[in-house]
A = this chain, B = another copy of it.
């Protein structure tokens, strides 16, 4: 892990870009911390870190205000990373189906999401190895948002992640429902009730499938990007309960 840039944000947050095995990432740490802090791994949709930066930095500042580090890495095939023909083909198939007003087939969803999960999850685990070896970060780790299938797989295979906040707003392959049953860590699931890009019933079925004893669904009005401010505060309190 090699840090490439470093800047102090105005609210006492240290922001450092890094690269790890060719994968770009960003780490935010609260400068006021006197002891090693827990970490929240910030997921995001596969639109590239640069494009997602404004939303990521808001989440990172909130994490830092609660005394947590936050980090994120670029997804395979996104941003400045090499393009990935198979996933680009699946995205083109998805767009074509949506433009034609067709139901998005299970085959398209599988081709779009499963390779991403298979590749992104070990990369996230390698990032955790590097991040948790830093003296300023101790764990435990929370996973927040992004592609929900990546979060589900991580919650199943990665014991350092002790709590996860999911955003029910992306296509979920059928096999992920089985993996969801194996999740046992506390979950906080956000659902935008009128999200035009989301199948509400599928999101409710997925929530039902999670094996966790503590799981909470927070549904709010509005579309994909209309999550109300107080819903973000509720999610922050969820992580504060489980990471401190």
Give me the interface of A with B, judged by CB distance under 8 Å.
193, 204, 207-208, 212-221, 228, 230-231, 233-234, 237-238, 241
Contact = CB atoms under 8 A, between A and B. Distances in A.
A219 to B, nearest CB: 4
A219 B216 contact: yes
A237 B229 CA distance: 13
Contacts of A221: 212-216
A212 B216 CA distance: 22
A215 B230 CA distance: 12
A241 B238 CA distance: 19
B220 A219 contact: no
A219 B203 CA distance: 13
Nearest to A191: B217
A175 to B, nearest CB: 23
Nearest to A238: B230
Contacts of A204: 204
Nearest to A189: B219
Given A214-B221, A215-B221, A217-B217, 9 more contacts: A193-B217, A215-B220, A216-B230, A217-B218, A217-B219, A219-B219, A230-B237, A230-B241, A234-B234
Given A218-B218, A234-B234, A237-B230, A193 B213 contact: no
A228 B188 CA distance: 13
Lowest 10 CB-CB distances: which A-B pairs, in order? A217-B219, A216-B220, A218-B218, A215-B221, A234-B234, A213-B221, A216-B218, A214-B221, A230-B241, A216-B219
Contacts of A238: 230
Nearest to A204: B204
A204 to B, nearest CB: 7
